[in-house]
Amino acid sequence: MRFFFIFFVLLPFAASNAQVLPAPALSARAWVLMDHASGQVLAAQEPDLKLEPASLTKVMTTYLVAEALQQKRLSLQQTVTVSERAWRTQGSRSFVPVNKGVEVDALFKGMVIQSGNDASVALAEAVAGSEEQFAAMMNRTAQRLGLKDTNFLNSSGYFEGPAPTHHSTARDLAKLAAALIRDHPETHALHAMKEYTYAGIRQHNRNRLLWADPTVDGLKTGHSSAAGYCLIATAKRGPRRLISVVLGTASEDARARDSLNLLNWAIRPSMRSSSTTRGRSFPSSGFSRARRTPSVPASTKISSSRCRAAWRTRSPPNWSAASRCWRPSPPAARSAR
């Protein structure tokens, strides 16, 4: 009887201590790691801090276009005339022609894969009649999805200068990504495409994790001088789907490194240590603007056969070995947004 008493008294304390795990120390200004199935926030820093989301805005635009397609208010084969306003939108672009008809399918892929601001505006006008009306639709949908700290002013997230009233949070963006995956899985699948060619111009997806980690299948990058470098990453590791959001990092390398460290932290208990936060699981030299084999210290390299074994022959995969199977960086895109 005494043994069982001690067991039941100590059990709650043991469970409590098991949950107190050191979260990774990242460079991002705000970040969240969420389990998609349960919606549980596994770790976070400043999750409700309102920040400009830059092109992460396009996740809501994507959601509403997918909804319009689902409800037959729009079709992929439908031709949309690109307005001068859409054509003149700066930042990252799909280079769609002004006053010409472009299929919704091309505009959609241009927005999702190339992060085309011009394609975003053209789609917003096709769905709502004007970008202002589309922004109102975005905010109504944000309220419906429970995004309590989000406000959108346009469909692309591009502004000439700071726009503090166009804002969201790491928590809200994780919820939005979860809603896109849940409600429009076929659209989420587009985010895994590494490149798209329109009008003879090939552009690569700016999500570098698509090249670094085969479990990553999305979702969206963003960048502006006010927002910093941001990334929503989605990954399916075994039966578990994870969503990470990092906001306000200093570089493309930093947002990729922070995101991968978060995903690794969620899966491997041994990653829940200071070694992850020092970047050993994702050296900054692992990505560069040029197409070249990354420079990785000899002590961390593993052979091609061990790489294949790490990813393919283990169930679950050997993440420690797999994280050192580096791949060449994708070519630099025309404009990082």
Question: pLDDT tens for residues 139-171?
Answer: 999 999 999 999 999 999 999 999 999 999 999
Q: What is the DSSP letter of 332?
A: P
Q: What is the pLDDT of residues 58-90, one digit of tens each?
A: 999 999 999 999 999 999 999 999 999 999 999
- What kind of architecture, by CATH, is found in domain 25-293+302-322? 3-Layer(aba) Sandwich (3.40)
- Closest listed residue to residue 213, CA positions, set 191, 233, 243: 233
Q: Judge whether 55 counts as a catalytic residue.
A: yes
- In contact, 237 and 316? CB cutoff 8 Å: yes
- Closest listed residue to residue 284, CA positions, set 31, 24, 27, 53: 27
Burial annotation 269-307 (CB, 10 A radius, 16+ → b, else e): eebbeeebbebebbbeebbbeeeeeeeeeeeeebeeeeb
* Cβ neighbours for 281, distance < 8 A, ≥ 6 positions apart: 260, 261, 264, 271, 275, 323
pTM: 0.77
Taking the C-alpha atoms of residue 285 and residue 310, their distance in angstroms, rounded to an integer, is 21
Taking the C-alpha atoms of residue 328 and residue 156, their distance in angstroms, rounded to an integer, is 29
Segments making up each domain of the chain, as ranges: 25-293+302-322
What separation in angstroms does the CA of 211 have from each of 88, 115, 335? 31, 17, 19
* Residue 266 pLDDT level (bands cut at 50, 70, 90): confident
Q: How high is the pLDDT of residue 328?
A: 35
Q: Single out the catalytic residue among 55, 83, 92, 168.
A: 55
Q: What is the DSSP letter of 223?
A: E
From the CB of residue 36, how many other CB atoms can be counted at a distance below 10 Å? 18
Residue with the two structure tokens 């969420």? 34
Residue with the two structure tokens 């635009």? 61
Quick one: CA dihedral 153, 156, 207, 219, positive or negative? positive
Q: Single out the catalytic residue among 27, 83, 115, 224.
A: 115
Q: Single out the catalytic residue among 27, 58, 175, 220.
A: 58
Q: Judge whether 244 counts as a catalytic residue.
A: no
Give strand pairing partners of 118: none
Return the axis-axis angle of helices 58-70 and 170-183, rounded to nearest 10°: 20
The secondary structure element, H or E, covering residue 249 is strand 240-249
* Residue 268 pLDDT level (bands cut at 50, 70, 90): low
Q: How high is the pLDDT of residue 24?
A: 83
Q: Judge whether 16 counts as a catalytic residue.
A: no
The predicted model gives 234-246 an average pLDDT of 94
